[in-house]
């Protein structure tokens, strides 16, 4: 009877005949990141335009009759928003900020492709 070492010596190394596939990494390409950066810049521009528009149409004194009781302080003067405008203000600041954080995370997650 053959021992384990003799069997291994006669058979040689045992390998899997099918190579294991390389793990697929879903890294964004440079073009995708550039497009996302452009999108985030457009979101920031839209947010600034929205805030300037809301500042222009809102009263400078609180008006409970129309619901303009939420204070928004600008560097030039104070205006008051109603509840709907207040949520638009949050969106005008929050959406571009979250987009910036997301694009930064994707850009930092992306590693250069290995050179052959």
**For the chain, domain boundaries:** 28-109
Tell me phi and psi for residue 5, to 5 degrees: -65, -35
pLDDT at 53: 93
pLDDT at 16: 65
What value does the mean pLDDT take over residues 24-33? 78
pLDDT digits (tens, 9 = 90+) for 32-66: 889 999 999 999 999 999 999 998 998 989 999 99
pLDDT confidence bin for 24, thresholds 50/70/90: low
- Of 35 and 115, the structure prediction assigns the larger pLDDT to 35
Rounded Cα distance, 92 and 94, in Å: 6
- Of 87 and 109, the structure prediction assigns the larger pLDDT to 87
Q: Is the pLDDT of residue 93 over 80?
A: yes
Helix (H) / strand (E) element for 73: namely: strand 70-73
pLDDT at 19: 66
Report CA torsion sign: 80, 86, 91, 97. positive
Phi-psi region of 64 (alpha: psi -120 to 50; beta: other; left: phi over 0): alpha
Rounded Cα distance, 98 and 19, in Å: 41
Tell me the pTM.
0.67
């Amino acid at each position: 009877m053959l021992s384990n070492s003799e069997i291994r010596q006669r058979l040689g190394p045992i390998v899997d005949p099918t190579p294991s596939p390389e793990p697929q990494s879903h890294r964004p390409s440079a073009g995708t990141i550039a497009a996302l950066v452009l999108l985030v810049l457009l979101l920031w521009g839209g947010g600034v335009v929205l805030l300037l528009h809301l500042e222009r149409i809102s009263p400078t004194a609180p008006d409970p009759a129309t619901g303009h009781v939420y204070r928004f302080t600008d560097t030039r003067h104070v205006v008051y928003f109603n509840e709907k405008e207040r949520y638009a203000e949050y969106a005008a600041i929050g959406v571009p900020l979250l987009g910036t954080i997301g694009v930064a995370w994707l850009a930092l997650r992306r590693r250069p492709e290995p050179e052959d």
